[in-house]
Amino acid sequence: MTGRRRQGTGRITLDDVARVAEVSPITVSRALRSPEKVSAATRERVERAAAKVGYVPNRLAGALASNASRVVGFVAATLNNSIFGETIQAFIDVLDDAGFQLLVGASGYQAEREEALIREFLSHRVAGLALVGTTHTAGARRMLAAAGVPVVELWELADRPIDMVVGFDNRGAARAVTERLIERGCRRLVAAVSLIGDERRSETRLAGFRDAAAETGVAIAGEIRIEQPLLINESGARILDYIRSLDGVDGVFCTNEFMATGTLVRCQAAGIRVPDDIAIVGMGDTQIASVVPPGLTTIRFPDYEIGHTAAETLIERMAGRDFDTPSVRLDWNLVLRGTA
């Protein structure tokens, strides 16, 4: 017997390629990673040998040896709704082009779960990290600081970002769309606010709604929290019930497009005219907002742009560049349709 104490994985390694190409392992490594450091003849022999034996590099070993991985972590809230779809698609598109892989986790809007995912991603030695939102546990902040990994927070602005932020002014956008209600003549407003786990964007948006009301002296008839804010029909039914329990409501602001569309649909089913009897505005402009006549007046988020910019910013930082402006503020748009 050979006396070896441990057996390999049985897979083809760099050494196998080296043997076939009749060069040393390090030359194979160089030929594959930085072809320019190797003569054309050697390069070709190595490539031929690698193809012949079906070599698949082991990035675990590579990352361990070089202390540099090409994997980035993305902590989303959930993956089963389309809110973050454009963002994550844009993010992965840019990263993929730059040769990075994506480790994805879903926090379920729970800061504790986010912390656990961050810990897990750090132990995989990710080169960078993207987090949706700016609500994080103290433990998460501590780990990130200790690890010194580039981090980009998404979808909000932050006074004191962990590292970099790419987002937009949720409060200002909410204010603007509420002002639209008021301009149309609405005088008794209701706000429907989504409530999921530790998510705080809806509170920021509610603040914008209140800004608009306070500024114009218009009455807030009431505010309602919705716990299943992604279910169109259910949330709409609850909001309509609430409106009917109040007097003379003529305008509804919703912190997302699902609740807004639900309210629209339930109103129509109940014979309430939109926007004549009640005007409705939402936030978010996925296709759902445009399919139900007369179309939802809402805020178009820079969702794709957030993902794109976040990825580019992260890549820059991972490449070692520093920034004067680690905070990118993107624009939202007011989309006027029939509901307000």
Partner DNA sequence: ATGAAAGCGCTAACAA
Partner DNA sequence: TTGTTAGCGCTTTCAT
- Chain residues that interact with a second copy, rule: CB under 8 A: 9, 11, 54, 56-61, 63-64, 67, 69, 71, 78-82, 85-86, 88-89, 92-93, 96, 101-106, 119-125, 142-143, 146-147, 231-233, 258, 261, 265, 268-269, 287-288, 290-293
Q: How far apart are CA 60 and CA 147, in angstroms?
A: 19
Residue showing tokens 């989309």: 335
- Cβ(330)–Cβ(306) under 8 Å? yes
Q: How far apart are CA 44 and CA 52, in angstroms?
A: 12
Instruction: Supply the minimum distance, in Å, between the C-beta of residue 45 and DNA.
Output: 9
Instruction: Supply the minimum distance, in Å, between the C-beta of residue 147 and a second copy.
Output: 7
Cβ closest to DNA, residue 66 vs residue 80: 66
Instruction: Supply the minimum distance, in Å, between the C-beta of residue 51 and a second copy.
Output: 11
Cβ closest to a second copy, residue 172 vs residue 295: 295
Instruction: Supply the minimum distance, in Å, between the C-beta of residue 74 and a second copy.
Output: 8
Instruction: Supply the minimum distance, in Å, between the C-beta of residue 61 and DNA.
Output: 3
Q: Report phi then psi at 138, rounded to 5.
A: -60, -40
**Among a second copy, DNA, none, what does residue 329 contact (CB within 5–8 Å per kind)?**
none
Cβ closest to a second copy, residue 158 vs residue 231: 231
Closest CA to 114 of 89, 86, 85, 134: 134
Q: Report phi then psi at 248, rounded to 5.
A: 60, 30
**Among DNA, a second copy, none, what does residue 333 contact (CB within 5–8 Å per kind)?**
none
Beta bridge partners of 330: 168
Closest CA to 196 of 83, 71, 66: 83
**Among a second copy, DNA, none, what does residue 121 contact (CB within 5–8 Å per kind)?**
a second copy
Closest CA to 157 of 168, 146, 171: 168
Sign of CA dihedral 53, 59, 65, 66: positive
Residues that bind DNA (CB under 7 A): 4-9, 11, 13-15, 23-27, 29-30, 32-33, 36-39, 41-42, 57-58, 61-62, 64-68
Give residue 4's identity as a one-letter amino acid code. R
**Among a second copy, DNA, none, what does residue 69 contact (CB within 5–8 Å per kind)?**
a second copy
Q: How far apart are CA 220 and CA 189, in angstroms?
A: 5
